[in-house]
Chain A
């Protein structure tokens, strides 16, 4: 099995900040909007590099989103980031009407994705944001798997996408393992590892955990395919059809509710186009809680052990 090397743990929020800074360096229309928590969403990397292009609007997410819409209507490329729970939920109506209905290129960074946020507990752990965002017409939803990929995804989301984009990322330093020169195309999944017996489709932090689970299964003689679906909308339908041709059961893994997230999206697609069994691994219709990130990932069976056990018990 191909080796995946962790170059060191790095938070995906740092990758986001680097991506915004890099995009701003090549396009002077890029504007940053902050809602107080600038450093904890990685935007400080941008605001320190381009202070004159950063607008502080305070703890007022609804206003932030609609101001971003006004800027986009004035030929700017606004990037707004706050915790995913506040962006996707509190400002959802503004996102729906001012951004999506107007079809504006506004980039919304949803930080603190998943239970790996840790001790802050349920209020700050974004677990329904993918569902909220992917249901909106015109919205692109991106969930990169490590810091390097988040940087690349952010640059491309800003510079290449049209229309609204929601990009989610986490707080905790996690393994940074994807290549800085990787072939990354928004809307195209990545086959990280080929396999014949079992297929795991993962997103975000769960990609690394799925790789670890796959290694364990391989050690037991099972051949495992691991796919990174970093773009949840639009889904890579072509790749999913190829997967459906080859596997009768597919596992989806996400740090998000199994309802309407990656698993929901994949199940919707398969049931309509090429029915295969989909086993969704994620948060099972429950809130998170306080604890250390590793502890919570383990408790909610979202770490490599949990994924491994679910796969073994589902494929007996």
Chain B
């Protein structure tokens, strides 16, 4: 499976759907494309014919504002037609601004949008799976700014206490939030040491290096009696130079002219790599 091509397609979809929608969150969605590509196309067990298969792996997207990367990935995986991506944020669309269970979009495991709740939900799923002796795994995708929410640390403490080794959380460590650098707004470092001291098994990776992402998810499956946190060091907006590391692009979308040049840039990069 060429996850690079999948990541390219996901990024192209994200830019197209956000341009069409006219609003949404470009930065975080773009930088998660590599993680989603490797997760969905190399590690996740799912059944597009039976999305409620009890034994499926679950992905809890805690940062609901990065819904475009989830939607783009789900469409890429065949959960629903890609054309539907262009209804993002439209009235009546199953692709709500933030993921919603209400609209029954296949592959969406939970509604999200208020930060700091996903890890707890994932923990609940992980504990339920353990009670039922199920073998499926629970993945939770968090943002780094989100870690400023106190409830995340309630969940971190509880997960370390109950030791669900079927739980793998990922932090999108792009170091940017709306007001700027996380370390200026409210510092998170030393992030690795914090989670380790709570009792988690922590893996630090380059969140755009597919081999490292792949290795981290493989390693996580082997860890026993501990939840695993993958700190994915990323570049916000990865793939388009003018978006990269620019916190103005947290909640901004491309216009049509920008879209054409961004698409060209993504293709060029893909051909070079």
* A interface residues with partner B (beta carbon < 8 Å): 31, 53, 55, 57-58, 60, 62-63, 65-76, 78, 93-94, 96-98, 101-103
Q: Nearest residue in A to B109 (C-beta to C-beta)?
A: A73
Q: Is B182 an interface residue (CB 8 A)?
A: no
The answer to whether B157 and A58 touch across the interface, beta carbons within 8 angstroms, is: yes
Tell me the smallest distance from the CB of B107 to a CB of chain A, in Å: 14
The answer to whether A67 and B129 touch across the interface, beta carbons within 8 angstroms, is: no
Q: Take A62-B151, A73-B121, A98-B117 as given contacts and tell me if A67 and B158 are in contact as well, using a CB distance cutoff of 8 Å.
A: yes
CA distance A73 to B114 in the complex (A): 18
Chain A residue contacts of B124, Cβ below 8 A: 66-74, 78
Chain B residue contacts of A74, Cβ below 8 A: 124-125, 128-129, 132
Query: From residue 101 to 145 of chain B, which have CB atoms closer than 8 A to chain A?
Result: 101-102, 109-114, 116-118, 120-129, 131-132
Q: Is B233 an interface residue (CB 8 A)?
A: no
Chain A residue contacts of B120, Cβ below 8 A: 62-63, 65-67, 69-70, 94, 98
Determine the main DSSP class of B at the interface with A: helix
Chain A residue contacts of B54, Cβ below 8 A: 75
* B interface residues with partner A (beta carbon < 8 Å): 54, 60, 100-102, 109-114, 116-118, 120-129, 131-132, 150-151, 154-155, 157-158, 161-162
Tell me the smallest distance from the CB of A162 to a CB of chain B, in Å: 14
Q: Nearest residue in A to B136 (C-beta to C-beta)?
A: A74
Determine the main DSSP class of A at the interface with B: helix
The 5 A-B residue pairs whose C-beta atoms are closest, nearest first, are A70-B124, A66-B120, A74-B128, A63-B154, A60-B154
The answer to whether B158 and A103 touch across the interface, beta carbons within 8 angstroms, is: no
CA distance A84 to B113 in the complex (A): 25
The answer to whether B128 and A101 touch across the interface, beta carbons within 8 angstroms, is: no
CA distance A78 to B101 in the complex (A): 19
CA distance A67 to B110 in the complex (A): 12
The answer to whether A58 and B158 touch across the interface, beta carbons within 8 angstroms, is: yes
The answer to whether B154 and A62 touch across the interface, beta carbons within 8 angstroms, is: yes
Tell me the smallest distance from the CB of B119 to a CB of chain A, in Å: 8
Tell me the smallest distance from the CB of B150 to a CB of chain A, in Å: 8
11 contacts between A and B (CB under 8 A): A31-B131, A65-B120, A70-B121, A70-B123, A71-B125, A73-B121, A75-B54, A76-B131, A97-B112, A97-B114, A102-B101
Chain B residue contacts of A69, Cβ below 8 A: 110, 117, 120-121, 124
A71-B124, A78-B124 known; 6 new pairs, CB 8 Å cut-off, are: A62-B116, A66-B124, A67-B155, A68-B124, A74-B132, A101-B102
Tell me the smallest distance from the CB of A270 to a CB of chain B, in Å: 32
The answer to whether B113 and A94 touch across the interface, beta carbons within 8 angstroms, is: no
Q: Nearest residue in B to A93 (C-beta to C-beta)?
A: B114
The answer to whether A57 and B158 touch across the interface, beta carbons within 8 angstroms, is: yes
Q: Nearest residue in A to B150 (C-beta to C-beta)?
A: A62
Tell me the smallest distance from the CB of B94 to a CB of chain A, in Å: 15
- Which of B101, B118, B123, B128 neighbours the largest number of chain A CB atoms within 10 Å of its CB? B128
CA distance A262 to B51 in the complex (A): 42
Tell me the smallest distance from the CB of B97 to a CB of chain A, in Å: 13
The answer to whether A71 and B154 touch across the interface, beta carbons within 8 angstroms, is: no
CA distance A74 to B131 in the complex (A): 11
Chain A residue contacts of B117, Cβ below 8 A: 62, 66, 69, 93-94, 97-98
CA distance A63 to B90 in the complex (A): 32
The answer to whether A98 and B157 touch across the interface, beta carbons within 8 angstroms, is: no
Q: Nearest residue in A to B101 (C-beta to C-beta)?
A: A102
CA distance A96 to B113 in the complex (A): 11
The answer to whether B114 and A75 touch across the interface, beta carbons within 8 angstroms, is: no
CA distance A72 to B126 in the complex (A): 12
Chain B residue contacts of A98, Cβ below 8 A: 110-111, 117, 120-121
Which residue in B123, B129, B151 is a CB contact (below 8 Å) of A94?
A: B151
CA distance A63 to B157 in the complex (A): 10
Chain B residue contacts of A73, Cβ below 8 A: 109-110, 121, 124-125
The answer to whether B121 and A101 touch across the interface, beta carbons within 8 angstroms, is: no
Chain A residue contacts of B162, Cβ below 8 A: 55
Chain B residue contacts of A62, Cβ below 8 A: 116-117, 120, 150-151, 154
